[in-house]
Structures are given as structure tokens and as C-alpha cells.
Chains A and B, each alone.
Chain A
């Protein structure tokens, strides 16, 4: 049976819910500007080397009584990290991050390419992280560092680069707090694609169709010969 993309995964349910909302919204689009991402509302630094958004080094989420352990991850990003995963073009040096509840996570994003890359995580508590996101963006050849503190729930969070098609082409990861809440789809090296490509000749329909016809004819002839003749 096909594993449902939302089974045991509240966060992907949120994503798919958003997608459904977006699909509904496309019926009545407001002006492009109304929903324009209002970056200036976030706690954010911006310069030509990149962006750090919603960094939080000291405020504990409400559900946490005390700090968990500190984690530091240095994540390299670029085309060179796609070579181990055929069919991807971009990648991170690490696509899965495991941390304990309430821990303080420091990410350093090192961009090995000459184009922008991001390390963005969604679904964090909105009262601490506007929009529920923590976001690092490094211009080509630059690096950016930021810190966030995760809540106590055992949950899996989406990590990705939101530059168009970068997530789809390999820059997708997951951060599991504690036991997590299952794997997300299409994490390179971790999980398969929900909509999987078929690696077959373009004329495969003909081959399948002709095979079915041949099987039908042969079976009919055999049956007629044995039973009726």
C-alpha cells in the first residue's frame, strides 16, 4: 500500500493543508502584493553576503522547562553535494539533523556555489519565530550562522532551500526533535519521492499494450485448442 504522505506526520499535513489552501486561493487571487512576503516584519539581517532571519539564542519555547543540549551543525550547500544522489542537482552536506527536545541548534550554512542558497526551517512556534520560520541565506561563496531553540514535542521539521526548484532538485532535509514524527518525503538518502519518475523508454505504452494484446491472443488460442477443438 502506498504510504500516505500525511501518515503520522503532522507537519507534512500542515504543508499539504497549505497547498490545498493555495489551490483554493488560486481561485480568487488578490493582487500579487497583498500576500507579498513582508520580510521587514521579521527579525532579520540583510547584506550582500546573505540573510539571517529569526535567530534566537536565549528565549526558551513555552513548553520547555530547561535547555536541552547545544548542537552545532556546519552545513555545506551546493552542486557538489548532489553527486551522491543521482537525479538531483543541488544538495546539502547533510540532509538529516537529529536533536533533543528544547535544544539550542546553531547552523552555519557554507555556500560552495556561486549562486544563493538557503537553509530554512518551517513550523517553529510563531510566538518566537514570526511566520514559524528560521532562515539562513548565503550568497555565492559566503556563509551565514544563526541559532534557534526547538520546542519539546517529538516532531519532524522540514528543512529546505526555497530558491525555485532547489528543494525539488535535492535541497531538502529534515530536522527530527527527539524521536521525530516520521520521515518526510523525498529527502535525498533518506526517503523516496511521493511522485516517482519512471525510468522507462518513452514508447513504453506501446510495449505494454502490445504485450497485453499478445498475451490475450495466445491465451485465447490455447484455451480454444484445448477446450473446444
Chain B
């Protein structure tokens, strides 16, 4: 057959397949005038819900870690949330890993030199020589064998960005056991809160078991630029010291004269390393007699053994560590295994000036996991101390539903009572810390009464997980009469199950499907339209091809 006939057929097919949605409006109106309106065709039906049940929102506390208990003479408060820290580790942090029984040490998972407590220098009944050993641990790292990250820590269902964290020195496997890829409870985001007493002689040894150089920098914590032996003590590679190389260790000396909520982080390539998770709160408590402190608070959150000074003024204390994460940076450790390639990718290819944050975490987790472990549990007429740090690259506009909070300290420095301000949105810039006083008196100002009241960054991205809401750093102030025995709040809204599926945060679940499945489900695809569009594309390609051939070979026309 001649080219011209093929060309004619192709043009006709292209025209027939051209979808009415793409016609100019005026043409459609003209057609309607000539032929009347289109006849009715039922629109695609809704897809049935996927029916994915997802994770259990509130896992059972098999080992009784939530309960109030006394271990090694340390009274550990009840942790009412679903998931609580290991009380044996808490007892070891309070007494010192050198001062507890072998059994407690075994249950804590810590080495005997993880937190060594020595002499009582001022004779007030508590140890003032504190030696802490921290390691650097990679979570959700790459592997030359597996297609998924190793030493896993999920911030939300299915979301495992790479992290580097400081962790107490521990023994044994870094995963839960040989059957599991999940990191053990001691190894998590954020790096632990360090708590020491004003005037303590503190030594902190960084044992760098990671594959990159790191340091410790004590931000706002009183320390000399060089230690007694003349070595750098500030953690900055180009002014203070050569960083701690892989396999090496280095000890920092501190003797803080002022109390307050401070910060610590790695200072090697800080625009990368701090955002990878090498940052934590550093609390210097006021000196009091018999002040046995919980030297480390794993994963921040509820302080189960508060200091004497806090107990004088407050009923409860919570450490709240906010961060935001650019997955484009954090996931680079999963792309390669050779440390030279990882280093190039993170420190030379990655450009933080082009960064956008995807994940927003409170104490290392995003909603809905925040509801397992980072709820602020209260009773009426209590005073609660919140130590809030923003370790993210963006500011946080922290809003409390149903409550106002009063800023008592900024960057660990007390605000004069006359100048204190009370508000329902507090702005916390990068690296800033605010001590907030939350009073649960139902007077229409401090509190509107009992309930489950959210608190979250009020900037829109902060309440999402990579743009999917609800997510991000949403947590809640929950009154105990709104808390079930298992630690899950009594809520009166929608079913939470979709939020505990990986599909929801992979954008695969219609956000309101569970409310009204038919109404808000996803419509089925229009298969014929897909065929029609592909037909149009093929016909159009044929037209161009035939025109080309005909122009080169007129004898074929």
C-alpha cells in the first residue's frame, strides 16, 4: 500500500484517539450545538480499601518497664506511656555502672565503665566525679549484602532515614538479637540527654567506633578551651583539636559552674554531622544535697528520676528534643558501602544550601510513634517542667492546644520573673533551648481542663511526614483520666489504624478512606482512556515517521 494511505489512516486514528478533555472548550461547545451533549457513562467506581491492618498502636509492655519500681535503691517513677525506657539502665545511670550489681548491669546492657561515678567532693551525699563513655552508632546504615538498611530505627511506619547518634557504651550485639535487624533500645535517635550537677567534675570519653572522624562540642556548657593537659577541649577541628578518628578515643573535661539546659553535638563538618543526629540535650542541674541524677536519658522524654531542684518546684519533667531531617542527606549512607564514596557524597556532593527538610521528629519519632512514648502525661493542678531543644535546621513555632506555657529559661539562663512571658506559641530557633513551665490548673488561661490536647510545631510542614499529614512532630498533653491502662490515650475521633501502616506514609492510602470508604476512596483507573492515549501517541509517532519517509522517497508516495 502506498504511504499516503498509511498516512491517512494514522491521522484518522490520532484524531479519533485525541481525548475530549484536550479539545478546546470552544470546540466542545460547537460540537454540543451540532450533536447535543455527551451521553451518560457511569464514572469509575471506587477501589475497595486495601484493608492493611498495620502495626499495633500500643505494644504490650512484656517486661514491665513502664511500672514504678525500685532498683538498686533508685526509685524509678512510673512511665505511663506505652513504651518506656529500660528501668535497669536508668538505675545504672543513677548509681553509676560501677556501683550496681552484676545482674542489673546485665539487664541494662551497659558496660561497667559506661557511666562511672566516683567521689562525693563537696560532701553533700551525691557523687561529683562523673565519667561518661559515649560511642557513635550508625542507624539505618548501608550494607554490601542487604537491600534494606541495617541496625534499623523507624521514625514512623516504614520510614528509616540514616542516622548517626551518640550512645552509651554497651556490650553485645547492636541489634535486638541475631534474628532481627532492629537496633536495640539503647541505640536510637535522639542522642541521650546528659544530666550532671553544677560543679561536678565531668569527664566524657568519646569512643569513636564509627567510620568517620567525630568530636564532642559542648554548646553552652561551661568548659575550658583546653583541658588540664593542654589538649583541645572544644571539639572544633580547625581551632581546638584533631578529631577522633575511627577506632580512637578522646576524653573531654568539664566542670560547669552554671546550671541550665544546654546542648552538645559533633563539630566535624557540623552542617552534615549535626543533622545526621550527632546532637543531644545537656542539662546541668543546680547543686543540691543527695542529688543522684539520671546521668543519661535515653531517647529524651520523661525524666523518671528527676533532680532535687526540679522536684522542689515541679511535679514532672520532660525532655523534648525536636529535629528536622533532609532525607536527601540522611539516606546517602545507604547508597554506598565504601566510606570514601559515602564521605564524598555527604560532604562534597550534598549541598545544604539547597536542602529541604522532609521529616520532623520529636524525641526521634514522628506521629503516630510520638503517641507511644512522647506524650506529656499530666494531672490537674500540676506544674510540669518541659526542657525543649530545637536541633533542627528550621525554627519551631511550638503550639500547645488547651494550654499556655511560661518561658522560665532561655538557653539555660533564667528569665527574671517580672519579664517572663506566657503564650500559646513559642518560637524556638535552631540550637535554642527553652525551659517551659506548664501549669495544669483549669482557669481558662493555664489550662482549659482535662483532655487530650495536641502540641506541635504550628508551621504546616512540621505536622507532616514528607508532606503527609498527620505526621511530623505532633504529640499531646494527656490528662491521666484520658489515658488507658496500656498507656494509649482515649480518643474520640477517627480510627488510627491507617496511620500505623507503611502505605499511608507512602501516599498509597486515601486520607479519608476510613471515614467513608465509598465516598473518599480512590476511583478506579479508566483503562480505556489509557489505551486511547497510548493509541494517540503511537498514531502521532507513525504520522511523523511517514511524513519523513514520504519526503525522502517521493516515489513511495
Which residues between 128 and 182 of chain B lie within 8 Å of chain A, taking CB atoms? 135, 137-139, 141-148, 150-152, 154, 158, 169, 171-182
Counting CB contacts under 8 A, is A96 at the interface?
A: no
Assess the A162–B144 pair: CB atoms within 8 A.
no
A-side binding surface: helix, strand, loop or mixed?
loop
Bound together, the chains give a CA A202 to CA B341 distance in angstroms of 10
CB proximity of A43 to chain B, nearest CB, Å: 12
Counting CB contacts under 8 A, is A47 at the interface?
A: yes
Assess the B171–A22 pair: CB atoms within 8 A.
no
Q: Which of chain A's residues have a CB closer than 8 A to the CB of B171? A: 39, 46, 50-51, 116, 137
> Residues of B within 8 Å of A, CB-based: how many?
75
Q: Which of chain A's residues have a CB closer than 8 A to the CB of B112? A: 46-48
Assess the A21–B179 pair: CB atoms within 8 A.
yes
Counting CB contacts under 8 A, is B468 at the interface?
A: no
CB proximity of A31 to chain B, nearest CB, Å: 4
Q: Which of chain B's residues have a CB closer than 8 A to the CB of A31? A: 59-62, 65, 82-83
Q: Which of A61-69, A128-136, A207-215 contacts B (4 or more CB under 8 A)?
A: A128-136
Q: Which of B15-23, B205-213, B475-483 contacts A (4 or more CB under 8 A)?
A: B205-213
Given known pairs A23-B148, A40-B103, A195-B143, the reply for A35 and B180 (CB within 8 Å) is: yes
CB proximity of B311 to chain A, nearest CB, Å: 27
- Partner of B176 from the list A36, A40, A89, A165 (CB cut-off 8 Å) is A36
Assess the B182–A32 pair: CB atoms within 8 A.
yes
Assess the B181–A37 pair: CB atoms within 8 A.
no
Counting CB contacts under 8 A, is A140 at the interface?
A: yes
CB proximity of A170 to chain B, nearest CB, Å: 9
Assess the B187–A164 pair: CB atoms within 8 A.
yes
Q: Which of chain A's residues have a CB closer than 8 A to the CB of B181? A: 19, 22-23, 26
Given known pairs A28-B55, A164-B139, A164-B141, the reply for A22 and B182 (CB within 8 Å) is: yes
Q: Which of B244-252, B254-262, B278-286, B316-324 contacts A (4 or more CB under 8 A)?
A: B244-252
- Which B residues form the contact surface with A (CB < 8 A)? 54-56, 59-63, 65, 82-83, 86, 102-103, 105-107, 109, 111-113, 135, 137-139, 141-148, 150-152, 154, 158, 169, 171-185, 187, 207-211, 245-249, 336-341, 349, 502, 552-553
CB<8 Å pairs between A and B, sample of 7: A30-B62, A31-B61, A34-B60, A35-B179, A164-B187, A197-B337, A197-B338
Please name 13 further chain A to chain B contacts, defined as beta carbons within 8 Å, in addition to the given A27-B54, A168-B337, sorted by A numbering: A18-B180, A27-B502, A30-B56, A30-B60, A30-B62, A36-B86, A39-B172, A78-B247, A114-B247, A139-B113, A169-B211, A195-B144, A197-B341
Q: 9 closest Cβ contacts across the A-B interface?
A: A113-B247, A193-B144, A114-B249, A79-B247, A31-B59, A87-B338, A115-B209, A89-B211, A35-B176
